[in-house]
Amino acid sequence: MVTGSSRTAETFYSMKDFLKQTGGVAVIDGGLATEFERHGADLNDPLWSAKCLVTSPHLIHTVHLDYLEAGADIIASASYQATIQGFEAKGYSREKSESLLRKSVEIACEARNTYYDKCGTSSSSGIMDDKILKKRPILVAASVGSYGAYLADGSEYSGIYGDSITLETLKDFHRRRVQVLAESGADIIAFETIPNKLEAQAFAELLDEGEVKIPGWFSFNSKDGVNVVSGDSIKECVAIAETCEKVVAVGINCTPPRFIEGLVLEIEKVTSKPILVYPNSGESYDADRKEWVENTGVGDEDFVSYVEKWMDAGVSLLGGCCRTTPTTIRAIHKRLVTRRSLFSSNI
């Protein structure tokens, strides 16, 4: 497998090979918007975190680098809520909208290169001032949020789009966006917070059309620990991913930590692909006020206490979503040291 910034179209079709290089388990980064706001960004905008592509690209680079230095093996671009339609609604041309999508991936790739440069000057231990500076395989994932994320009305947390939204509607909405992101230098596409079976089918069919040359992962969200947020069966949703050759991992994101183990046990029944989880902090989201409700989630220590259970249940890629931070990711990285050493010694 090729690592670093040089890639071929086939480089990361085998997620299992990547996991062998990362000690049997890989760390995904944490929340972006949380960190942008901590650094002073105002995200009260339909573009949400994608607003920073216009106003604060340097800030995106900084946060990507923070996650790499915390031990993340995979960083996701700031394109979750970046869509051509959303940028056009803000007055940007089609050309500029596509340029901003490409920019999201380019910034993540630049951050990876910056990180590798810093690794070359670090101490032999690979740790400096509590920063992980160790040259290793790192993937850049192009983030693709759901249609509900574009609507910016909280419907990615309900999966209810209305009868007028069909399979073809969703494919037409996402097609060009996915193509642009796939051609921007990313290693994999992260189809995230998928709220219903219909959108999973749309993503699978787009991958099967053949225009997208890199693989993807599918990640669903749940609010009851049994089904995806729309009420569709998690096993039926995962079965769609299982039949799509270009989907190389499947799992759960933006879901409270307490629900993860049970969902993973259900997912494992219907997939042979690596399972990923990157839950939120457990806090609830107020769609009307467009903000997270404070003090409804778990702290980093409690969050990380779940890690062994998740891996014992079958998880091999894990990180955090909304309201998690580089501190969370650093704690996950530290929890995995022993397990990774055991994996490496058994190869």
Domains of the chain: 25-286+300-345 (3.20.20.330)
The more confidently predicted of residues 300 and 327 is: 327
**Does residue 217 carry a pLDDT above 50?**
yes
DSSP 207: H
- Angle among Cα 60, 332, 34 to the nearest 5 degrees reads 30
Radius of gyration of the chain (CA): 18
The predicted structure's pLDDT at residue 2: 34
- Out of 148-152, 213-217, 218-222, 230-234, least confident range: 148-152
Q: Model confidence at 44, in pLDDT bands (50, 70, 90)?
A: confident
| Residue ranges at the known binding site for Zn(2+) | 254, 321-322
**Does residue 218 carry a pLDDT above 70?**
yes
Beta-bridged to residue 26, according to DSSP, are 317
The predicted structure's pLDDT at residue 10: 43
Q: Model confidence at 345, in pLDDT bands (50, 70, 90)?
A: low
The predicted structure's pLDDT at residue 17: 92
The predicted structure's pLDDT at residue 300: 65
Beta-bridged to residue 249, according to DSSP, are 217
The predicted structure's pLDDT at residue 7: 42
The predicted structure's pLDDT at residue 130: 80
Q: Is the pTM of this model over 0.85?
A: yes
**Does residue 28 carry a pLDDT above 90?**
yes
**Average pLDDT over every residue of 203-230:** 96
The predicted structure's pLDDT at residue 283: 59
Select the highest-mean-pLDDT range: 5-9, 94-98, 161-165: 94-98
Q: Model confidence at 48, in pLDDT bands (50, 70, 90)?
A: confident
**Does residue 9 carry a pLDDT above 50?**
no
Q: Please provide the average confidence, as pLDDT, over all residues in the chain.
A: 90
| Residue ranges at the known binding site | 254, 321-322
The predicted structure's pLDDT at residue 80: 95
**Does residue 293 carry a pLDDT above 60?**
no
* Alpha-carbon span 91 to 101, nearest angstrom: 15
The predicted structure's pLDDT at residue 285: 52
The predicted structure's pLDDT at residue 297: 52
The predicted structure's pLDDT at residue 15: 93
The predicted structure's pLDDT at residue 343: 77
- Write out pLDDT tens, residues 54-105: 999 999 999 999 999 999 999 999 999 999 999 999 999 999 999 999 999 9
**Average pLDDT over every residue of 120-146:** 86
Q: Provide the CB-side half-sphere exposure for 180 (13 A, CA).
A: 24
Share of the chain above pLDDT 70, in %: 89
Among the listed residues 38, 88, 95, the one whose alpha carbon sits nearest the alpha carbon of residue 62? 38
Cβ 311 vs Cβ 339: under 8 Å: yes
Q: Model confidence at 284, in pLDDT bands (50, 70, 90)?
A: low
